[in-house]
Amino acid sequence: MNNLEGKRILVTGGTGSLGQTLVKRILTGEMGKPAGVTVFSRDEAKQHYMRLDFLHRKAATDDIIYQNSQDLLKFRIGDVRDYSSLLTAMREADIVFHAAALKQVPSCEYFPFEAVMTNVYGAVNVARAIRENNLAVETVVGISTDKACKPINVMGMTKALQERILIEANRDCTDTSLMCVRYGNVIASRGSIVPLFVEQMRNNQPLTVTLEEMTRFLLSLDRAVDTVFAAIKSGNPGETFVPKVPSAKIVDVAKALMIKKELPIIFTDIRPGEKVHEIMVSEEECFRTVERGGYYVILPMLPELRGEAEYVPALKAEYSSKDKNLSIENLRELLGQSSSEIAQFLAKS
């Protein structure tokens, strides 16, 4: 598939864990060689180190990525909260991957309006830039989270609004296809639980788990990017792509990392805004969820965007992390495949 061939691509929040993996995959040319890739974010330090990583660390296995970094990759300082800086960046884009977000649950609980400013107003500014300036943006893919489904925390609430804002924008941005992807915990992402466990084990500290019964969906960064690419390949305006991924008890994740070294597990109680189980498709969304290419696709809530085509619902109940949890042995295999750093850690443990 050459869906990105010759396209000018903008990645908001491109210095984040997902953003960096997405940029790397784009630069392989697996979806076609783009005309250019621009990383848009507000953190100059992260941009600096990403630039060094992509432009100055040639590895034998990454020749194509390295060369494309030299030729195609650009960096732009800006903030999705700032309409004018975002508009300037979007004027030169055919495809926008909107990954900028405040995403740590406790942080959003303590600073809720900051989450609104980035997660909600950021989406508003993306849609507004297209709507008010007749931009030639062909496709927008908003990166969402399972926490947006039946949200109980500020992060999930703001992400749910982000989804609705981008999807509704299809009504009057008729030359642009705006879609979303929604997925669970990315195993190796910055601030996630697995790197915390690894750090605690390296320091011979007890592993901290909130509740014994807590579960989460788990996927690798590459599986997250696969979901984004699936939306680009086959998505229609207003649809939300959800990957079919395994789930596990967090306490079992901790046990899976302990191969030779047994450390105590301490239960610290639920954190502000946390759910016990996550949901990726609610029972209210089931009736308008279909299967496509190995993914669940939630059709738009607004009937004028959904159209009148007949479809067969793919689910009869909510898609929840409490169901069909992985065994510790299977978890170990999944963790080893999720990142080279975790694989090395498991090999040495």
Residue 272, pLDDT score: 84
Residue 339, pLDDT score: 76
When the pLDDT of each residue in the chain is averaged and rounded to a whole number, the result is: 93
Instruction: Render pLDDT for 230-245 as a digit per residue (tens, 0 to 9).
Output: 999 999 999 999 999 9
Residue 342, pLDDT score: 80
Q: Are 280 and 183 in contact (CB under 8 A)?
A: yes
Hey, where are the domains in the chain?
A: 8-348
How many helices (H) and strands (E) in the chain?
15, 16
The catalytically annotated residue of 7, 33, 147, 159 is 147
Can 147 be counted among the known catalytic residues? yes
Q: How confident is the model at residue 307 (pLDDT cuts 50, 70, 90)?
A: confident
Q: Which residue has the higher pLDDT, 336 or 118?
A: 118
Mean pLDDT lowest for which of 23-32, 84-93, 224-233, 306-315?
306-315
Mean pLDDT within 2-29:
95
Say how many C-beta atoms besides its own lie within 10 A of residue 191's C-beta.
13
The yes-or-no verdict on residue 60 having pLDDT over 60 is no
Mean pLDDT within 19-23:
96
Q: Are 243 and 219 in contact (CB under 8 A)?
A: yes
Sheet holding 240-243, edge to edge: 73-77, 36-41, 8-12, 95-98, 139-145, 177-183, 240-243, 295-298, 289-292
Three-class SS of residue 73? strand
The tokens for 118 are 């980035």
Q: How confident is the model at residue 1 (pLDDT cuts 50, 70, 90)?
A: low
Residue 50, pLDDT score: 93
Looking at the domain 8-348, which fold is it? Answer: Rossmann fold (3.40.50)
Mean pLDDT within 283-288:
95
Instruction: Render pLDDT for 172-218 as a digit per residue (tens, 0 to 9).
Output: 999 999 999 999 888 877 777 888 898 999 899 999 999 999 999 99
Q: Are 72 and 37 in contact (CB under 8 A)?
A: yes
The yes-or-no verdict on residue 89 having pLDDT over 90 is yes
Residue 308, pLDDT score: 77
Residue of 114, 107, 83, 111 lying closest to 12 (CA atoms): 83
Dihedral sign from CA coordinates of 127, 129, 130, 133: positive
